[in-house]
Structure 1
Amino acid sequence: MKTSVRTMHTKKYTILFTVLMYCSFVMVGQHSTILAEELKSTLNTYYKNKEFNGTVLVAKKGTILYQGAFGYANIEKNINNTTNTKFLIGSATKSFTAIAIMQAREKGLVELHTPIKKYIPELNDELGKLTLHFLMKNSSGLPVHLNRITQLEHRDISSKELIKLYNTTKLAFKPGSKYEYSNLNYQLCAIVLERVTGMPYKDYMETHIFKPLNMHNSGIERTNKVAKDKALGYDLNNGKFVKSDDNFMSYAKGGGDIYANALDLLKWDSALYSNTLVNDKSKQLLYDGSPNAFGTYGYGFKVKTYNRSSSKKITGKLVRHGGSMYGYICNIHRYLDDEVLIVVLGNMRPYPTMEITLTVENTLRNYNVL
């Protein structure tokens, strides 16, 4: 049986295509390996200089490009940080709270521009005129921290007690007139969420965010309920690590009380590229940070632009949030146009969080990942 010239050519093209595809996969694999090794080397330098202790994860479109852990979760017991170690994420909690509010909005439970006295009647008239829009935009005029108006205690303070504290304060400026970051904004959002859903804030987050995404290593911490396998927080004093003070977790309600590990944050990041948590309209509002009185702050996300690699020649949208508490600092960068995630979780303070993040970003750009 004779083989036609066309069949022979077809076979040659098929073999050539297969070889080219194989070579392409090999090159991508080598490329990723080199990238990972470079990131590991860079981060190890920070660790050796006592400028980092924690874990870093880098992913693109849900695929992990690099993940590594450095230093100790518990220095006294010689327990290493691992890629599964949990960390407090501080103010990055605000991104989660904003998403929960948008879920409530999608269900028709809240309106963003309605005075919150509708949901919390006990608020005084001045605070009652605030809206979820002003709260989530950090444009309310409320104090930055609760410790400005009360002595914090290591106990689980109730929502009713928090409301009484809020009613003792005065707004520093007309709501909506400027941007001024305040943890109280998101604490009030959490209490609104409780009122309209009939669920404690902690239960709502577990039921509607953590469990649906299989975020089994994430949760809300309270004074008497501390996560197992969570890294201890440390302060760097004169070159030595000292156990940090305990955080006042229930006073951080909705604004800084979440713990997570890097893999869970990847699950959360991936879900935000679909409608698993919120719809497209909600995401548009979450990421709306055009320059104005709100300091490029969206709802629960700080909104920036980033330079993409020279081959792409356009800027992209970066939505991010960091967090800082006693003994912990984190940074979460989400590069929307390239679906890239950088997570930096540390259990020491201080360390150059943003410098580390931007060093990783520049490395990714050099490899055309961004």
Structure 2
Amino acid sequence: MMALFFLLMAHTGPAPGMAALIRQNGAEELRVSGRSVLPEGPQVSEQTCFRMASVSKQFTAACIILLKNEGKLSYEDPLDKFFPGFDPAVRLKHLLTHTSGLYDYEGLIPAGRTEQVSDADVLKWVSGIGATYFVPGSRYRYSNSGFCILSQVVEKVSGQPYAEFLKERILGPLGMDHSFIYRAGEPMPARALGYALQNDKVTESDQSVTSATKGDGCLYTSLADYRKWMDAIVENRLFNLEQELKQVNYRIKEDLFYGLGWFNIGGNELFHTGSTCGFSNVVWLTLDGRNALVYFSNLADYHAPAFVLENGLKFRKPAFALEKVLTLTD
């Protein structure tokens, strides 16, 4: 790929990996390099599974869309319809646009906790606050809490565990056979381990206390599978995302919006980043299916190569610089 050039400026040992798909005016190029497991693990390929971090949110939103289109819920439903105790002003559409004002669960984790947080934990802690940062729907504030609670809505309405619903209704039908929700201790074929660069040394950084919540960030997928997901979106095979965004979208600034797990411009250019303790991801696509940039890495805080690839795009570039999206997430 780019020989992991940023990393190798400071580190000369075995390097974590990157996988990228560049699509310009319908022509596609794949670039892969590095290893999925250090020091002598498999070379990264388009089948290597990376943790998506916040790129997972679009899949959680997709589950909600499917249930809405079956008449089992509405974007306008108040959250207390599913979980009594929440402010009735908080509606599902607010969770889907980061405008709920729900408290950040990361600040509610008990001191000294070492067990990984679950989505059910998030629901319990946030519902117990009994307040929001601001009037729901009045402003944008990125919220991992909201998407963890959305996964619990999926479970409540469908009667299935979130991971089971996701596999049965999305991953399976799309043939995404190298995609799964993380479960500690279970086999995960072709899984990349996460790493971080500290003091010019690459160290394992695969899990943290917050890295197992499902709705906001622990889907694993491969470049090959993500291509299937993108193609399903542009071909409206699960739902018409462009039409759904007309119902659920919040203007952040100028022409930049957020809705249904995506930053978007005009509903026809979609993008998101993902950051976690051992992974960095960037995705961008146009809804005509002819342009895309997908970048996965199993190295934390390592989005820079994606931005270099973005600058190298010749036919069409994102209308909103992808590097700026990092300032809008957490």
TM-score with structure 1 setting the length:
0.75
Q: Partners of 2:248 and 2:139 in 1: how far apart?
A: 18
- 1:24 is matched with none
Assess if the C-alpha contact under 8 Å between 2:55 and 2:273 holds in 1: yes
Q: Secondary structure at the match of 2:309?
A: helix
Please say if 1:65 is aligned against 2:28. Answer: yes
Q: Partners of 2:276 and 2:40 in 1: how far apart?
A: 22
Letter in 2 for 1:364: L
- 1:217 is matched with 178
Aligned with residue 91 of structure 2, among 100, 118, 131? 131
Aligned residue pairs: how many? 310
The Cα of 1:358 is off from its aligned counterpart by: 3.5
- 1:164 is matched with 124
Which has more radius of gyration?
1
Assess if the C-alpha contact under 8 Å between 1:179 and 1:295 holds in 2: no
The Cα of 1:52 is off from its aligned counterpart by: 7.4
- Comparing 102-111 with 66-75, greater Cα deviation is found at 66-75
- Which runs of no fewer than 5 residues in structure 1 stay unpaired? 1-39, 306-315
- Comparing 103-112 with 165-174, greater Cα deviation is found at 165-174
Q: Partners of 1:194 and 1:260 in 2: how far apart?
A: 21
Q: Partners of 2:90 and 2:238 in 1: how far apart?
A: 26
Matches within 5 A, 1:1-370: 40=1, 42=2, 45-46=5-6, 48-49=8-9, 53-59=17-23, 65-121=28-84, 124-126=85-87, 128-144=88-104, 146-151=105-110, 152-155=113-116, 157=118, 159=120, 161-169=121-129, 170-225=131-186, 227-244=188-205, 246-248=207-209, 252-279=213-240, 282-285=243-246, 288=249, 290-291=251-252, 296-304=257-265, 317-337=268-288, 339-351=290-302, 353=303, 355-365=304-314, 368=315
Assess if the C-alpha contact under 8 Å between 2:18 and 2:33 holds in 1: yes
Letter in 2 for 1:247: S
Deviation digits for residues 46-79 of structure 1 (CA, Å, limit 9, x no counterpart): 4643697321112358x66211221121113343
The Cα of 1:232 is off from its aligned counterpart by: 1.0
Q: Partners of 2:79 and 2:20 in 1: how far apart?
A: 38
Q: Secondary structure at the match of 2:191?
A: coil
Q: Partners of 2:255 and 2:169 in 1: how far apart?
A: 28
Assess if the C-alpha contact under 8 Å between 1:89 and 1:330 holds in 2: yes
Q: 1:265 to 1:287 in 2, by over 3 A?
A: farther
Deviation digits for residues 150-204 of structure 1 (CA, Å, limit 9, x no counterpart): 2354357473x44322222231111111100010111111111111111111100
Letter in 2 for 1:357: A
Q: Partners of 1:343 and 1:207 in 2: how far apart?
A: 25
Q: 1:360 to 1:283 in 2, by over 3 A?
A: farther
Q: 1:251 to 1:86 in 2, by over 3 A?
A: closer
Q: Partners of 2:96 and 2:234 in 1: how far apart?
A: 21
Q: Partners of 2:236 and 2:215 in 1: how far apart?
A: 22
- Which runs of no fewer than 5 residues in structure 2 stay unpaired? 318-330
TM-score with structure 2 setting the length:
0.84
Q: RMSD between aligned alpha carbons?
A: 2.8
Deviation digits for residues 249-296 of structure 1 (CA, Å, limit 9, x no counterpart): 675221101000011000000001122111356443488454569962
Letter in 1 for 2:270: V
Assess if the C-alpha contact under 8 Å between 1:179 and 1:293 holds in 2: no
Q: Relative to total residues, which structure has the larger helix share, 1 or 2?
A: 1
